[in-house]
Structure 1
Amino acid sequence: MNLLRLFALSIAICGFVYVPAVLGFAKVVVPEKAVGSLVTTADGKIVGSRLVAQAFTTDRYFHPRPSACDYNGAGAAGSNLSPTSPELTQRAEEIIATYPGSGPIPADLITASGSGLDPHITRAAAIYQIPRVSAARNMAPEAVEKLIPSGNLVNVLELNLALDR
Protein backbone atom coordinates (compact mmCIF):
# COMPACT_ATOMS: atom_id res chain seq x y z
CA MET A 1 0.00 0.00 0.00
CA ASN A 2 2.88 2.39 0.79
CA LEU A 3 4.33 1.64 -2.63
CA LEU A 4 1.08 2.70 -4.32
CA ARG A 5 0.98 5.94 -2.31
CA LEU A 6 4.57 6.70 -3.26
CA PHE A 7 3.76 5.98 -6.91
CA ALA A 8 0.70 8.27 -6.84
CA LEU A 9 2.65 11.01 -5.07
CA SER A 10 5.48 10.77 -7.62
CA ILE A 11 3.03 11.04 -10.51
CA ALA A 12 1.32 14.02 -8.90
CA ILE A 13 4.57 15.87 -8.19
CA CYS A 14 6.35 15.07 -11.46
CA GLY A 15 3.33 15.43 -13.73
CA PHE A 16 1.17 18.10 -12.17
CA VAL A 17 3.44 20.24 -10.01
CA TYR A 18 6.96 20.16 -11.45
CA VAL A 19 6.12 20.81 -15.13
CA PRO A 20 3.86 23.86 -14.53
CA ALA A 21 6.35 25.22 -11.98
CA VAL A 22 9.26 25.01 -14.44
CA LEU A 23 7.18 26.52 -17.26
CA GLY A 24 6.01 29.33 -14.98
CA PHE A 25 9.58 30.02 -13.89
CA ALA A 26 10.74 30.06 -17.54
CA LYS A 27 7.97 32.49 -18.53
CA VAL A 28 9.19 34.90 -15.86
CA VAL A 29 12.93 34.52 -16.46
CA VAL A 30 13.06 34.06 -20.27
CA PRO A 31 9.54 34.75 -21.60
CA GLU A 32 10.48 34.72 -25.30
CA LYS A 33 12.17 31.32 -25.14
CA ALA A 34 9.50 29.77 -22.90
CA VAL A 35 6.91 30.07 -25.67
CA GLY A 36 9.11 28.78 -28.51
CA SER A 37 11.15 31.82 -29.60
CA LEU A 38 8.30 32.96 -31.82
CA VAL A 39 8.96 35.56 -34.50
CA THR A 40 6.28 38.20 -35.04
CA THR A 41 5.77 40.93 -37.61
CA ALA A 42 5.45 44.60 -36.63
CA ASP A 43 1.67 44.15 -36.33
CA GLY A 44 2.06 41.19 -33.93
CA LYS A 45 1.31 38.35 -36.37
CA ILE A 46 3.26 35.16 -35.60
CA VAL A 47 5.22 34.06 -38.67
CA GLY A 48 7.40 31.29 -37.28
CA SER A 49 10.00 30.35 -34.72
CA ARG A 50 13.71 31.12 -34.55
CA LEU A 51 14.26 27.50 -33.50
CA VAL A 52 12.31 25.55 -36.14
CA ALA A 53 12.87 25.65 -39.90
CA GLN A 54 10.02 26.12 -42.29
CA ALA A 55 9.76 25.54 -46.01
CA PHE A 56 10.57 28.40 -48.36
CA THR A 57 10.39 27.19 -51.94
CA THR A 58 9.93 30.23 -54.17
CA ASP A 59 12.86 31.94 -55.84
CA ARG A 60 12.08 35.16 -53.91
CA TYR A 61 13.31 33.61 -50.67
CA PHE A 62 16.42 31.95 -49.34
CA HIS A 63 15.84 28.22 -48.99
CA PRO A 64 16.58 26.34 -45.75
CA ARG A 65 18.25 22.96 -45.43
CA PRO A 66 16.14 20.10 -46.79
CA SER A 67 13.97 18.40 -44.19
CA ALA A 68 13.58 14.66 -43.74
CA CYS A 69 10.25 15.31 -41.96
CA ASP A 70 8.77 17.96 -44.28
CA TYR A 71 9.39 20.69 -41.67
CA ASN A 72 6.85 19.11 -39.31
CA GLY A 73 7.82 20.10 -35.77
CA ALA A 74 5.67 17.33 -34.33
CA GLY A 75 7.58 14.70 -36.26
CA ALA A 76 11.16 15.92 -36.05
CA ALA A 77 13.49 13.26 -37.37
CA GLY A 78 16.39 12.57 -39.63
CA SER A 79 16.08 10.20 -42.54
CA ASN A 80 18.21 7.50 -40.85
CA LEU A 81 19.50 6.60 -44.30
CA SER A 82 23.07 5.36 -44.68
CA PRO A 83 25.48 7.63 -46.59
CA THR A 84 25.70 4.84 -49.17
CA SER A 85 21.90 4.58 -49.56
CA PRO A 86 20.70 4.83 -53.18
CA GLU A 87 17.59 6.62 -51.91
CA LEU A 88 19.72 9.30 -50.24
CA THR A 89 21.81 9.68 -53.41
CA GLN A 90 18.66 10.04 -55.52
CA ARG A 91 17.23 12.67 -53.15
CA ALA A 92 20.52 14.61 -53.26
CA GLU A 93 20.58 14.49 -57.07
CA GLU A 94 17.00 15.81 -57.21
CA ILE A 95 17.91 18.67 -54.90
CA ILE A 96 21.07 19.47 -56.88
CA ALA A 97 18.95 19.71 -60.04
CA THR A 98 16.94 22.55 -58.45
CA TYR A 99 20.10 24.68 -58.08
CA PRO A 100 21.20 25.58 -61.61
CA GLY A 101 23.91 27.97 -60.37
CA SER A 102 27.55 27.52 -61.10
CA GLY A 103 30.16 26.20 -58.72
CA PRO A 104 29.89 23.65 -55.95
CA ILE A 105 26.68 23.72 -53.93
CA PRO A 106 27.23 24.03 -50.17
CA ALA A 107 26.48 20.71 -48.49
CA ASP A 108 23.85 22.16 -46.15
CA LEU A 109 21.62 22.97 -49.14
CA ILE A 110 21.66 19.30 -50.17
CA THR A 111 21.63 17.38 -46.89
CA ALA A 112 19.05 17.45 -44.11
CA SER A 113 20.06 18.09 -40.53
CA GLY A 114 19.73 15.40 -37.87
CA SER A 115 16.42 16.80 -36.62
CA GLY A 116 15.13 17.79 -40.04
CA LEU A 117 14.25 21.19 -38.55
CA ASP A 118 17.52 23.12 -38.37
CA PRO A 119 16.57 26.80 -38.94
CA HIS A 120 20.10 27.81 -39.99
CA ILE A 121 22.21 27.56 -43.10
CA THR A 122 25.86 28.49 -43.43
CA ARG A 123 26.81 31.92 -44.69
CA ALA A 124 28.26 30.18 -47.78
CA ALA A 125 24.84 28.61 -48.48
CA ALA A 126 23.17 32.01 -48.22
CA ILE A 127 25.74 33.64 -50.52
CA TYR A 128 25.28 30.81 -53.03
CA GLN A 129 21.56 31.70 -53.28
CA ILE A 130 22.07 35.45 -53.85
CA PRO A 131 21.85 35.33 -57.69
CA ARG A 132 18.50 33.52 -57.62
CA VAL A 133 16.99 35.71 -54.90
CA SER A 134 18.24 39.00 -56.31
CA ALA A 135 16.97 38.14 -59.81
CA ALA A 136 13.53 37.12 -58.51
CA ARG A 137 13.22 40.36 -56.53
CA ASN A 138 14.84 42.65 -59.12
CA MET A 139 17.38 43.71 -56.50
CA ALA A 140 21.08 44.29 -56.88
CA PRO A 141 23.05 41.28 -55.61
CA GLU A 142 25.06 43.63 -53.38
CA ALA A 143 21.85 44.83 -51.68
CA VAL A 144 20.80 41.25 -50.97
CA GLU A 145 24.26 40.35 -49.69
CA LYS A 146 24.16 43.24 -47.19
CA LEU A 147 21.19 41.54 -45.50
CA ILE A 148 23.20 38.38 -44.77
CA PRO A 149 24.70 38.48 -41.26
CA SER A 150 28.48 38.21 -40.99
CA GLY A 151 28.48 35.18 -38.68
CA ASN A 152 28.98 31.61 -39.86
CA LEU A 153 25.30 30.62 -39.41
CA VAL A 154 22.30 32.43 -40.87
CA ASN A 155 18.73 32.04 -39.60
CA VAL A 156 16.70 31.59 -42.80
CA LEU A 157 13.41 32.94 -41.42
CA GLU A 158 15.04 36.11 -40.09
CA LEU A 159 16.92 36.62 -43.37
CA ASN A 160 13.72 36.22 -45.41
CA LEU A 161 11.87 38.64 -43.13
CA ALA A 162 14.69 41.15 -43.67
CA LEU A 163 14.19 40.70 -47.42
CA ASP A 164 10.49 41.45 -47.10
CA ARG A 165 11.20 44.64 -45.15
Structure 2
Amino acid sequence: MLKELRPAIVMIVLFTVLTGLAYPLAMTGIAQALFPRQANGSLIEKGGKVIGSELIGQNFEKPGYFHGRPSATTDTDPKDPTKTIAAPYNAANSAGSNAGPTSKALMERVQGDVEKLKAENPGAPIPVDLVTTSASGLDPDISPAAALFQVPRVAKERGLPQQRLRELVAAQTEGRFLGVIGEPSVNVLRLNMALDALAGR
Protein backbone atom coordinates (compact mmCIF):
# COMPACT_ATOMS: atom_id res chain seq x y z
CA MET A 1 0.00 0.00 0.00
CA LEU A 2 2.86 2.39 0.81
CA LYS A 3 4.16 1.78 -2.70
CA GLU A 4 0.92 3.23 -4.13
CA LEU A 5 0.70 6.13 -1.65
CA ARG A 6 4.31 7.32 -2.02
CA PRO A 7 3.93 8.76 -5.57
CA ALA A 8 0.71 10.56 -4.55
CA ILE A 9 2.35 12.09 -1.46
CA VAL A 10 5.47 13.10 -3.44
CA MET A 11 3.30 14.76 -6.13
CA ILE A 12 1.24 16.65 -3.52
CA VAL A 13 4.37 17.96 -1.80
CA LEU A 14 6.09 18.78 -5.11
CA PHE A 15 3.13 20.70 -6.57
CA THR A 16 2.47 22.43 -3.24
CA VAL A 17 6.03 23.76 -3.28
CA LEU A 18 5.90 24.64 -7.00
CA THR A 19 2.46 26.24 -7.22
CA GLY A 20 2.08 27.40 -3.62
CA LEU A 21 5.56 28.83 -3.03
CA ALA A 22 7.92 28.96 -6.00
CA TYR A 23 5.48 30.33 -8.60
CA PRO A 24 3.91 33.07 -6.39
CA LEU A 25 7.35 34.17 -5.17
CA ALA A 26 8.70 34.28 -8.72
CA MET A 27 5.70 36.31 -9.98
CA THR A 28 5.94 38.69 -7.01
CA GLY A 29 9.65 39.19 -7.64
CA ILE A 30 9.15 39.82 -11.38
CA ALA A 31 6.30 42.25 -10.68
CA GLN A 32 8.36 44.14 -8.10
CA ALA A 33 11.32 44.32 -10.49
CA LEU A 34 9.44 45.33 -13.65
CA PHE A 35 6.34 47.16 -12.35
CA PRO A 36 7.02 48.27 -8.75
CA ARG A 37 4.41 51.05 -8.64
CA GLN A 38 1.62 48.83 -9.98
CA ALA A 39 2.69 45.86 -7.82
CA ASN A 40 2.41 48.05 -4.72
CA GLY A 41 -1.12 49.22 -5.46
CA SER A 42 -0.66 52.16 -7.91
CA LEU A 43 -0.67 54.50 -4.92
CA ILE A 44 -1.06 58.25 -5.39
CA GLU A 45 0.88 60.54 -3.07
CA LYS A 46 0.49 64.22 -2.30
CA GLY A 47 3.05 66.00 -0.15
CA GLY A 48 4.69 62.69 0.75
CA LYS A 49 1.41 61.24 2.04
CA VAL A 50 -0.60 58.47 0.34
CA ILE A 51 -4.06 59.85 -0.47
CA GLY A 52 -5.43 57.01 -2.58
CA SER A 53 -4.91 54.55 -5.39
CA GLU A 54 -5.47 54.82 -9.13
CA LEU A 55 -7.35 51.52 -8.87
CA ILE A 56 -9.97 52.36 -6.21
CA GLY A 57 -12.47 55.20 -6.44
CA GLN A 58 -13.16 57.71 -3.70
CA ASN A 59 -16.42 59.30 -2.65
CA PHE A 60 -16.27 62.97 -3.66
CA GLU A 61 -19.51 64.65 -2.56
CA LYS A 62 -18.69 68.37 -2.43
CA PRO A 63 -20.08 70.28 -5.43
CA GLY A 64 -16.69 71.84 -6.13
CA TYR A 65 -15.25 68.46 -7.12
CA PHE A 66 -15.88 66.04 -9.97
CA HIS A 67 -17.88 63.04 -8.78
CA GLY A 68 -17.27 59.41 -9.70
CA ARG A 69 -19.75 56.68 -10.53
CA PRO A 70 -22.26 55.70 -7.87
CA SER A 71 -20.98 52.90 -5.65
CA ALA A 72 -23.13 50.07 -4.28
CA THR A 73 -20.66 48.81 -1.66
CA THR A 74 -21.88 48.41 1.92
CA ASP A 75 -20.53 47.96 5.44
CA THR A 76 -21.84 46.61 8.73
CA ASP A 77 -24.17 48.97 10.56
CA PRO A 78 -22.30 50.03 13.74
CA LYS A 79 -25.66 50.28 15.55
CA ASP A 80 -26.89 46.83 14.47
CA PRO A 81 -24.33 44.20 13.33
CA THR A 82 -27.08 42.16 11.67
CA LYS A 83 -27.72 44.96 9.13
CA THR A 84 -25.68 46.76 6.49
CA ILE A 85 -25.45 50.42 5.52
CA ALA A 86 -24.30 52.14 2.34
CA ALA A 87 -20.55 52.73 2.38
CA PRO A 88 -19.46 54.03 -1.05
CA TYR A 89 -16.10 52.75 -2.34
CA ASN A 90 -15.60 50.37 0.60
CA ALA A 91 -12.58 48.44 -0.67
CA ALA A 92 -13.07 45.75 1.98
CA ASN A 93 -16.44 44.85 0.48
CA SER A 94 -16.12 45.03 -3.29
CA ALA A 95 -19.48 44.15 -4.83
CA GLY A 96 -22.29 45.33 -7.03
CA SER A 97 -25.82 45.71 -5.76
CA ASN A 98 -27.04 42.62 -7.68
CA ALA A 99 -30.31 44.51 -8.18
CA GLY A 100 -32.04 43.63 -11.45
CA PRO A 101 -34.05 45.80 -13.85
CA THR A 102 -37.27 45.05 -11.96
CA SER A 103 -35.87 46.20 -8.60
CA LYS A 104 -37.98 49.03 -7.19
CA ALA A 105 -35.11 50.28 -4.99
CA LEU A 106 -32.77 50.41 -7.99
CA MET A 107 -35.30 52.25 -10.14
CA GLU A 108 -35.96 54.79 -7.39
CA ARG A 109 -32.23 55.37 -6.84
CA VAL A 110 -31.53 55.84 -10.55
CA GLN A 111 -34.55 58.13 -11.00
CA GLY A 112 -33.42 60.23 -8.04
CA ASP A 113 -29.92 60.54 -9.49
CA VAL A 114 -31.33 61.45 -12.91
CA GLU A 115 -33.51 64.23 -11.43
CA LYS A 116 -30.58 65.61 -9.46
CA LEU A 117 -28.34 65.62 -12.54
CA LYS A 118 -31.05 67.23 -14.70
CA ALA A 119 -31.24 70.09 -12.21
CA GLU A 120 -27.45 70.38 -12.22
CA ASN A 121 -27.08 70.62 -16.00
CA PRO A 122 -30.50 71.13 -17.66
CA GLY A 123 -30.88 70.06 -21.26
CA ALA A 124 -27.62 68.08 -21.41
CA PRO A 125 -27.79 64.32 -22.03
CA ILE A 126 -26.86 62.41 -18.87
CA PRO A 127 -23.97 59.96 -19.34
CA VAL A 128 -25.00 56.49 -18.21
CA ASP A 129 -21.98 56.03 -15.93
CA LEU A 130 -23.20 58.87 -13.69
CA VAL A 131 -26.30 56.88 -12.72
CA THR A 132 -25.08 53.25 -12.86
CA THR A 133 -22.70 51.43 -10.55
CA SER A 134 -19.86 49.22 -11.71
CA ALA A 135 -19.70 45.51 -10.89
CA SER A 136 -17.03 46.07 -8.24
CA GLY A 137 -18.46 49.29 -6.80
CA LEU A 138 -14.90 50.64 -6.74
CA ASP A 139 -14.49 52.03 -10.28
CA PRO A 140 -12.00 54.94 -10.09
CA ASP A 141 -12.72 56.21 -13.61
CA ILE A 142 -15.54 57.94 -15.45
CA SER A 143 -16.04 58.60 -19.14
CA PRO A 144 -14.88 61.94 -20.58
CA ALA A 145 -18.57 62.70 -21.26
CA ALA A 146 -19.36 62.22 -17.55
CA ALA A 147 -16.54 64.59 -16.57
CA LEU A 148 -17.60 67.21 -19.12
CA PHE A 149 -21.21 66.97 -17.91
CA GLN A 150 -20.04 68.14 -14.47
CA VAL A 151 -18.02 71.10 -15.74
CA PRO A 152 -20.77 73.76 -15.30
CA ARG A 153 -21.33 72.81 -11.63
CA VAL A 154 -17.62 72.67 -10.78
CA ALA A 155 -16.90 75.90 -12.67
CA LYS A 156 -19.66 77.70 -10.77
CA GLU A 157 -18.50 76.42 -7.38
CA ARG A 158 -14.83 77.17 -8.06
CA GLY A 159 -15.32 80.44 -9.93
CA LEU A 160 -13.32 79.11 -12.89
CA PRO A 161 -14.05 79.45 -16.62
CA GLN A 162 -15.79 76.41 -18.09
CA GLN A 163 -13.40 76.35 -21.05
CA ARG A 164 -10.43 76.00 -18.68
CA LEU A 165 -12.09 73.04 -16.98
CA ARG A 166 -12.87 71.41 -20.32
CA GLU A 167 -9.18 71.70 -21.17
CA LEU A 168 -8.33 70.16 -17.80
CA VAL A 169 -10.65 67.20 -18.49
CA ALA A 170 -9.08 66.75 -21.94
CA ALA A 171 -5.58 66.78 -20.41
CA GLN A 172 -6.60 64.13 -17.84
CA THR A 173 -8.33 61.84 -20.37
CA GLU A 174 -6.56 58.54 -20.96
CA GLY A 175 -7.06 57.01 -24.40
CA ARG A 176 -7.62 53.40 -25.37
CA PHE A 177 -4.86 50.94 -24.49
CA LEU A 178 -2.69 50.46 -27.62
CA GLY A 179 -5.21 52.70 -29.39
CA VAL A 180 -7.85 49.96 -29.69
CA ILE A 181 -8.57 48.26 -26.34
CA GLY A 182 -11.15 49.71 -23.95
CA GLU A 183 -12.67 53.18 -23.92
CA PRO A 184 -11.23 56.61 -23.08
CA SER A 185 -11.50 57.33 -19.36
CA VAL A 186 -10.74 59.94 -16.72
CA ASN A 187 -9.37 59.01 -13.28
CA VAL A 188 -11.52 61.03 -10.86
CA LEU A 189 -8.90 61.32 -8.10
CA ARG A 190 -6.21 62.55 -10.50
CA LEU A 191 -8.68 64.96 -12.11
CA ASN A 192 -9.61 66.43 -8.72
CA MET A 193 -5.94 66.73 -7.76
CA ALA A 194 -5.31 68.65 -10.99
CA LEU A 195 -8.38 70.77 -10.22
CA ASP A 196 -7.04 71.67 -6.77
CA ALA A 197 -3.66 72.55 -8.30
CA LEU A 198 -5.37 74.74 -10.90
CA ALA A 199 -7.53 76.49 -8.29
CA GLY A 200 -4.43 77.01 -6.13
CA ARG A 201 -2.70 78.84 -8.96
Q: TM-score, normalised by structure 2?
A: 0.75
Whole-angstrom distance in 2 between the partners of 1:123 and 1:129: 10
Flag the structure with larger Rg: 2
Quote the offset at 1:125 in angstroms: 0.7
User: What's 1:62 paired with?
Assistant: 66
- The answer to whether the aligner puts 1:161 opposite 2:170 as a matched pair is no
| Aligned pairs for 1:34-49 within 5 A | 34-41=39-46, 43-49=47-53
Whole-angstrom distance in 1 between the partners of 2:144 and 2:106: 24
Structure of greater relative contact order (alpha carbons < 8 Å, 6+ residues apart)? 1
Q: Secondary structure of 2:71's match?
A: coil
Whole-angstrom distance in 2 between the partners of 1:35 and 1:132: 35
Q: Which moved more, 1:135-144 or 1:105-114?
A: 135-144
The one-character-per-residue Cα deviations of 1:59-97 (angstroms, maximum 9, x if unpaired) are: 111000011112122221111111222121011123224
Identity, in percent, stands at 43
Whole-angstrom distance in 2 between the partners of 1:57 and 1:97: 17
Q: TM-score, normalised by structure 1?
A: 0.89
Q: Given the alignment, which residue of 84, 92, 107 partners 2:102?
A: 84
Whole-angstrom distance in 1 between the partners of 2:54 and 2:116: 26
The one-character-per-residue Cα deviations of 1:3-35 (angstroms, maximum 9, x if unpaired) are: 234323333332333222211110101111111
Q: Given the alignment, which residue of 114, 137, 140 partners 1:96?
A: 114
| Coordinate RMSD, CA, aligned | 1.7
Whole-angstrom distance in 2 between the partners of 1:8 and 1:90: 55
- The answer to whether the aligner puts 1:135 opposite 2:156 as a matched pair is yes
- The answer to whether the aligner puts 1:53 opposite 2:57 as a matched pair is yes
| Aligned pairs for 1:22-41 within 5 A | 22-41=27-46
User: What's 1:115 paired with?
Assistant: 136
User: What's 2:181 paired with?
Assistant: none
Which consecutive residues of structure 1, in runs of 5 or more, have no partner in the other structure? none
User: Quick one: which amino acid aligns to residue 106 of structure 2?
Assistant: L
Whole-angstrom distance in 2 between the partners of 1:75 and 1:20: 27
Q: Which has the larger share of strand? A: 2
User: Quick one: which amino acid aligns to residue 155 of structure 1?
Assistant: N
Which consecutive residues of structure 2, in runs of 5 or more, have no partner in the other structure? 74-87, 176-183
Q: Secondary structure of 2:169's match?
A: coil
Aligned length: 164
User: What's 1:75 paired with?
Assistant: 93
User: Quick one: which amino acid aligns to residue 145 of structure 2?
Assistant: A
Quote the offset at 1:121 in angstroms: 0.9
Whole-angstrom distance in 1 between the partners of 2:57 and 2:140: 4
